[in-house]
């Protein structure tokens, strides 16, 4: 009698999870499934994030701060974004890879097209731009050329100096109404995803309820369709003052379990809690 494995039985390889696509984002919102998103800047962490079930990877221009030690994102270049996008995209088998278009790299349609070509060639599947106003037309023009766009409203780090620092936005009724109007205009322009940063939960809830596209919150409360954090913040690795909306998921845990817990808490709605919102 043999107690070994039956050589005639061929085990099927584990099924490869289906890749998150741009069209599938609306389905997440429709079925009420939260989207888990995290920044990634290299192959190793992108692979780890992909493995624990992250839905979206953002190659953020936040790399200027967390990797390069700058005080803002303003000095990040298209070439630097392309380098990190290429590295991170190689680590993703399932997660949708989004790349930030750095400051002023999409100020005109011509520049936006050049930036888009560079970042898409580097492996990005969606590009993110900040603000409304003239950016609505830029978003519309890129979308019309089949470039998938994620918009970003509220605290927009590329407008740091104009905003007067990292401050909560849309506290007043007029500002909240303008943010909603901008969100609707960006959706109409063909944007597929919207990041809301540092806005009161009630404002984010109102915007989320009015849009067909998903919203991703960062300091915008639990009512958004998903959440995003900077990887280094979520692992407690940041040397800067921790914003209120950050939770350290790595306390007494290994990094992989910490990131898995982040995904689980976003999916269940446990994060962000009351202590992480405005």
- Give catalytic residue positions: 197
- Residue closest to 127 by CA, chosen among 145, 106, 150, 161: 150
Q: How far apart are CA 208 and CA 205, in angstroms?
A: 5
Q: Say whether 98 sits in a helix, a strand or coil.
A: strand
Asked if 221 and 197 count as a contact pair (C-beta separation under 8 A), the reply is no
Q: Which residue has the tokens 């270049």?
A: 77
- Residue closest to 88 by CA, chosen among 42, 39, 20, 19: 42
Q: Which residue has the tokens 């914003």?
A: 243
For 178, phi then psi, to 5°, come to: -65, -40
Asked if 256 and 236 count as a contact pair (C-beta separation under 8 A), the reply is no
């Amino acid at each position: 009698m043999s107690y070994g494995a039956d050589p005639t039985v061929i085990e099927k390889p584990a099924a490869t999870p289906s890749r998150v696509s741009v069209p599938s984002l609306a389905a997440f919102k429709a079925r009420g499934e939260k989207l888990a998103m995290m920044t990634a800047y290299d192959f190793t962490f992108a692979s780890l994030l992909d493995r624990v079930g992250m839905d979206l990877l953002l190659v953020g221009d936040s790399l200027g701060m967390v990797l390069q030690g700058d005080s803002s994102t303003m000095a990040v270049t298209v070439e630097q974004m392309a380098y990190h996008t290429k590295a991170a995209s190689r680590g993703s088998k399932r997660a949708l890879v989004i790349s930030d278009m750095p400051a002023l790299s999409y100020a005109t349609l011509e520049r936006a097209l050049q930036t888009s070509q560079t970042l898409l060639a580097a492996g990005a599947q969606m590009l993110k731009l900040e603000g409304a106003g003239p950016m609505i037309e830029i978003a519309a023009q890129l979308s019309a050329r089949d470039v998938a766009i994620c918009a970003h409203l509220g605290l927009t780090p590329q407008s740091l100096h104009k905003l007067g620092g990292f401050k909560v936005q849309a506290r007043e009724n007029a500002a909240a109404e303008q943010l909603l109007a901008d969100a609707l205009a960006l959706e109409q322009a063909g944007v597929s995803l919207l990041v809301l940063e540092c806005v009161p939960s009630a404002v984010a809830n109102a915007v989320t309820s009015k849009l067909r596209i998903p919203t991703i919150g960062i300091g915008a409360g639990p009512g958004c369709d998903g959440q995003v954090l900077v990887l280094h913040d979520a692992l407690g690795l940041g040397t800067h003052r921790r914003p209120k909306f950050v939770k350290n998921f790595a306390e007494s845990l290994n990094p992989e379990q910490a990131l898995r817990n982040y995904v689980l808490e976003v999916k269940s709605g446990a994060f962000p809690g009351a202590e992480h919102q405005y």
